[in-house]
Structure 1
Amino acid sequence: MKKIIFSVLAVILLISTVSCSQTQMYAQELKSGKKYDTSPEVSYSDMEILAKGNNEFALALYRQLSAADDGNMFFSPYSLSVALAMTYAGAEGATREQMAKTLNFILEEEDLHAAFNNLAIELARRGESNQGKDEEGFRLNIINAIWGQIEYAFLDEYLDTLAVNYDAGLRLLDFTADPEACRQAINDWVSQQTEGKIEDLIKKGIISETTRLVLTNAIYFNAAWGIPFKTSSTADGTFYLPDGSTVTVSMMHQTENLNYAEGDSYQAVELKYDGNELSMLIILPEDGNFEQFKATFDAEKLAAIIDEMRTANVTLTMPRFEYESQFSAKDALKAMGMTDAFEMTADFSGIDGTHDLFIEDVVHKAFVSVDEAGTEAAAASAVIINVKGVMEQAEVTLDHSFIYLIRDIQTNTILFIGSVVNPAE
C-alpha cells in the first residue's frame, strides 16, 4: 500500500511596533558562518528524553485540538515541535519557561537542539533501500526554511544555532514593502516542496508590514506497506458515524500475522511499512467510547498499548481514506500554557536583542491518503512468524471512529497523528 503524506507548518513572528517585491527574492540567503553539524554528540538517554517529551506534547496537542473539532483530523506534531524549537532558540525569561513546559522541552537548550539535529539525521537514514508504491522508492523528506526581513538585525548567536542544528539559513524578504508578495513567495516555496499538494498555506492577511520572521517546516512521506492489501479483496462496507448515521465506503481486507493488542475499551493493530522502520499504529476504541478514549489518550496510555502488543493472526477490515486538515494552533498552544509568546509581554530577545517580537500565529496544513497499492516483493519481509504456542486469532473491523499514528520505531517518534470520524469526507 502506498501512504502519502504532505505536511507543512509555518510559525510567524511579528514585531509589535509598527520591500518582497519579487518572489524570486527568497533565493537570497543569509547564512551563519558556522556549518551544519552532521555528527552531533548526543547520548542515548537524551534521545529518549526528547522522544518522550515530543510524544507527550503530541498527544496533549491532539487532545486539545480534537476537543474543539469533532471531524477528521490529521497533523504532524513532529513538524510543529521542530518549528517551535527553532523559535524557542530565541526565547528568554517567562516566554522561554512557558514554551519549555508546553512543548515538554526537558533538556538543557544546547542539548535539546543537538538532540533535534540527531533525530533529523536518524530520520533521514530511513528507507534507503525500501520501496514506495512508485519506482522512486520510499521517501521521508524533512525541510526547514526561515524567512527574515531584509536588513533586520538578527543576532549572530541565533542564526548560528539554527545553522548548526537545523541546517537552516535565513532567506531574505522585504515584508515592509510588499507583504502580499512575500506571502505568495513563501506559499510558492511550500507548494514546490510538496509537489503542489499544499497550496495557500498562509492565508491572506496573516503576513503584514510588521512581520519580521517566518519559520517553516515541510514533510513529505511516501511508503509502501510491508504487507500490501489486495485490491481484489476491497468491497463496499458500512462505516458508523458518531451521530448514529452511516456511510458506505470502500473497505480493504487482509488476514496476516500482525502486532496486536486489546484492552477493556480498545483494540490496536500495527501495520509496518516496507523495511520495518516505520509503522502505522491504529487504535480502535469500542463503539460509543471514542470521545472518552481520545480525551484521556496520553503518552502513558500509548506506551502501555505498545508494550501490550503481541503477534496475532489478525483479520483486518480498514477503510480507504483521503483528506486534508488546516488549522491555527495558536489558541490550542495558549490553552496549554504558552501564553506570553503570543502577547505584547513576549520575550524573544534571543532573536534580535530587543523585546519587540511576538508570535502572531502558528498555522498548519496536512494531507493524507491511504489505499491498497504496494510493492509485492517486500510482502514477505514483514510477516512475523511466532513459533511459541498457538497463534492468537483476532478480528479488527475499523467501521467506526478510530485514531492512528505514524511513528518511527527505533526513535519512538510520532511523526503524524490523526483520527478518522468519516472516511467519506
Structure 2
Amino acid sequence: MGPAWLWLLGVGILASVLCQPFPAHADKNLGVPQAPSDQHSEPAPAHRKITPTITNFALRLYKQLAAETTGNIFFSPVSISTTLALLSLGAQADTPTQILEGLGFNLTETPEADVHRGFQSLIHTLNWPSPKLELKVGSSLFLDKQLKPQQHFLDTIRELYGAFAFSANFTDSATTGRQINDYVRKQTYGQVVDCLQELTQDTLMVLLNYVFFKAKWKHPFNRYQSQKQESFSVDERTSLRVPMMHQKEMHRFLYDQEVACTVLQIEYSGNAQALLILPDPGKMEQVEAALQPETLRKWGQLLLPSLLDLHLPRVSISGTHDLEEILPHIGLTNIFNMDADLSGITGQLNKTISRVSHKAAVDMSERGTEAGAASGLLSQPQALNATSAPHSHFNRPFLVLLWEMTTQSLLFLGKVVNPVAG
C-alpha cells in the first residue's frame, strides 16, 4: 500500500453588484438559459454536449444531499464535475469510463474525447472577458516534490483544462495546506478561505479547481427600503428575524399549482440569471422530488414578466459537504475502491480516493450576490401557500439556481434554510 496522495479541490464564487441592461440576444422563453443564436450555420460549441449532463448531475447530487442534510445546501456543479472529469484523465483501465458514466455521460452518444473537448470549450467560454461579468475558471495541481508526474498527463490537463502543476513539500503538511489555502483565497479574491482542511501528512497531491463569478443585478434592491427585520420561518418550530430586502420591479415568475411552488427569475447584467424556487409551506420535499431537467424547461416556457412586490432576505450562508458518502449513491462508486486505477497521474498504483470535500458559501445582498465553493478529493490507501399574485415573500426555505447563460451551465445550486447561518 502506498501513501495517500490526492485531494481534488473545486472552488467557485458568485457576486453581483450594479445595474446594466439585459443583453438583447437572451432567449427568455426557456428555463435553462439559451446561448445567443448564431446568424451563420457554424457548428454548435462543444460545451453544448456536456452542460445538460452537468445539470442532470447537479439535480441528482442535490437530491442525495437533501436526503441527508437538514440545513443549508450550496455547491457548484461546474466545479465538482470539472474536477472529476479532469481526474479521469489520470485514470487507466476501466476507471475513466466509470468516472464519466458516474457523472452521467453516455459515452456511446458522447465519446470520452468529446466530453473533454466539451469541458475545454466550457472553461474557455466562461473565461472569455466581458465588461459586465467577472468570471474566471481554472485548475491547478500541487505535487509533492518526491513525485514524478507523467508528462502526458500534465500536457493533457494543460491543453484541455488549462491546469498547471506546482511542486510542493507535503512533508510539512501544515505549511503546504496554508499555502494552498492562500492560493485559493487569492484566486477567488478572498471569497473562499480555509477550503482545505485536515491535510494529512501522507497526502502527496492536491488538484484544485476554482470558479470565480462576479456579476450585478439588473435591478439592484434599494438599500434604504431593506433596513427592517422580518420573520423567516426556518421550520415549523423556529422563526428568525432577518434583514429583508424589498423592491417593486418587473420580474419573470410563475406559480406552479401541481408542484406547489412559486418560481422567480432574477436577472443579472451580463449573461447570468438566478432562479429562485419558493415552495408552499410544508411542500419543500414535494418540490425537491419534482426537480428534473424537464421541470426546469417547463418553468422556463411558462415564466411571464410582471410587476412584482418582492421580499427577499439577505443571504449569508456557507456549508461543507463531505461527498465521499454521497457520490457512490449517484453512480460514482468505483473511484473509491481498490479497483480504481489512477496510475496515469504518477505511474503508481494502489492509491484510492477516500475523501471528497466540498465547501461553498453565498452572500446575497441589495446590489448582488457573492458565492464561493471548494470541493476536494483526498486519496489514501484503502487501509485508512403562494398564489400567482404580484406579491412574493421569501420568508421560508427556498431553492437557488445560478446560471451562466452563454454556456447554459448551472454554476451553483442550493437551498436556503437559514439565510443568516454564516
How far apart, in 1, do the equivalents of 2:126 and 2:91 lie? 27
Shift of 1:121: 1.6
Whether 2:406 is the aligned partner of 1:424: answer: no
How far apart, in 2, do the equivalents of 1:227 and 1:167 lie? 35
1:182–1:73 distance in 2 versus 1, CA, 3 Å: same
- Equivalent positions of 1:389-408 (< 5 A) are 394-408=390-404
The secondary structure found in structure 2 opposite 1:247 is: strand
Whether 2:317 is the aligned partner of 1:323: answer: yes
Find the partner of 2:229 among 217, 225, 236.
Answer: 236
How far apart, in 2, do the equivalents of 1:241 and 1:71 lie? 9
Q: Which amino acid aligns with 1:351?
A: I
- Equivalent positions of 1:173-322 (< 5 A) are 173-175=168-170, 177-204=171-198, 206-209=199-202, 211-234=203-226, 235-264=228-257, 265-275=260-270, 277-322=271-316
- The equivalent of 2:89 in structure 1 is 89
Shift of 1:421: 0.8
Question: Does structure 1 retain, via aligned residues, the 8 Å contact 2:135–2:213?
Answer: yes
How far apart, in 1, do the equivalents of 2:167 and 2:105 lie? 29
Shift of 1:296: 3.7
Shift of 1:179: 2.8
How far apart, in 2, do the equivalents of 1:320 and 1:179 lie? 37
Whether 2:127 is the aligned partner of 1:124: answer: yes
Shift of 1:125: 2.5
Question: Does structure 1 retain, via aligned residues, the 8 Å contact 2:279–2:287?
Answer: yes
- The equivalent of 2:8 in structure 1 is none
Question: Does structure 2 retain, via aligned residues, the 8 Å contact 1:102–1:338?
Answer: yes
Shift of 1:354: 4.2
- The equivalent of 2:158 in structure 1 is 163
Structure with bigger helix share is 1
Shift of 1:43: 4.6
Q: Which amino acid aligns with 1:308?
A: L
How far apart, in 1, do the equivalents of 2:279 and 2:268 lie? 23
- Equivalent positions of 1:3-82 (< 5 A) are 16-18=1-3, 43-44=43-44, 46-82=46-82
Question: Does structure 2 retain, via aligned residues, the 8 Å contact 1:147–1:214?
Answer: yes
The secondary structure found in structure 1 opposite 2:220 is: coil
- The equivalent of 1:347 in structure 2 is 341
Q: Which amino acid aligns with 1:124?
A: N
Q: Which amino acid aligns with 1:156?
A: Q
- Equivalent positions of 1:360-375 (< 5 A) are 360-373=354-367
Question: Does structure 2 retain, via aligned residues, the 8 Å contact 1:148–1:171?
Answer: yes
Find the partner of 2:411 among 404, 415, 419.
Answer: 415
Coordinate RMSD, CA, aligned: 2.1
- The equivalent of 1:104 in structure 2 is 104
Q: Which runs of 4+ in 1 moved over 4 A?
A: none
Tell which deviates more after alignment, 346-355 or 363-372: 346-355
TM-score, normalised to structure 1, is 0.79
Shift of 1:269: 0.9
How far apart, in 2, do the equivalents of 1:180 and 1:393 lie? 55
Tell which deviates more after alignment, 237-246 or 362-371: 237-246
Question: Does structure 2 retain, via aligned residues, the 8 Å contact 1:94–1:340?
Answer: no
1:300–1:344 distance in 2 versus 1, CA, 3 Å: same
Shift of 1:190: 1.5
- The equivalent of 1:148 in structure 2 is 143
Shift of 1:150: 2.1
Superposed CA offset, 1:356-384 (max 9, x none)? 3322322222221111136xxxxxxxxxx
Question: Does structure 2 retain, via aligned residues, the 8 Å contact 1:229–1:252?
Answer: yes
- The equivalent of 2:382 in structure 1 is none
- The equivalent of 2:383 in structure 1 is none
Q: Which amino acid aligns with 2:266?
A: L
Tell which deviates more after alignment, 94-103 or 214-223: 94-103
1:179–1:424 distance in 2 versus 1, CA, 3 Å: closer
Tell which deviates more after alignment, 226-235 or 241-250: 241-250
Q: Which amino acid aligns with 1:401?
A: P
Question: Does structure 1 retain, via aligned residues, the 8 Å contact 2:218–2:267?
Answer: yes
How far apart, in 2, do the equivalents of 1:75 and 1:122 lie? 21
The secondary structure found in structure 2 opposite 1:196 is: coil
Q: Which amino acid aligns with 1:259?
A: R
How far apart, in 2, do the equivalents of 1:293 and 1:280 lie? 17
TM-score, normalised to structure 2, is 0.79
How far apart, in 2, do the equivalents of 1:95 and 1:307 lie? 39
Question: Does structure 1 retain, via aligned residues, the 8 Å contact 2:400–2:414?
Answer: yes
How far apart, in 1, do the equivalents of 2:197 and 2:125 lie? 33
Superposed CA offset, 1:175-233 (max 9, x none)? 2x3333322221221222233332322222x4332x33211112222222111111222
Q: Which amino acid aligns with 1:417?
A: L
Superposed CA offset, 1:49-82 (max 9, x none)? 3011000011111111121111112111111111
Shift of 1:151: 4.2
Mark the runs of 5 or more structure 1 residues left unpaired by the alignment.
1-15, 19-41, 131-137, 375-391
- The equivalent of 2:26 in structure 1 is none
How far apart, in 2, do the equivalents of 1:394 and 1:331 lie? 42
Whether 2:360 is the aligned partner of 1:358: answer: no
Question: Does structure 1 retain, via aligned residues, the 8 Å contact 2:243–2:313?
Answer: yes
Question: Does structure 2 retain, via aligned residues, the 8 Å contact 1:271–1:280?
Answer: yes
Q: Which amino acid aligns with 2:114?
A: D
How far apart, in 2, do the equivalents of 1:417 and 1:188 lie? 25
Q: Which amino acid aligns with 2:410?
A: I
Question: Does structure 2 retain, via aligned residues, the 8 Å contact 1:316–1:395?
Answer: yes
How far apart, in 2, do the equivalents of 1:118 and 1:423 lie? 35
1:161–1:307 distance in 2 versus 1, CA, 3 Å: farther
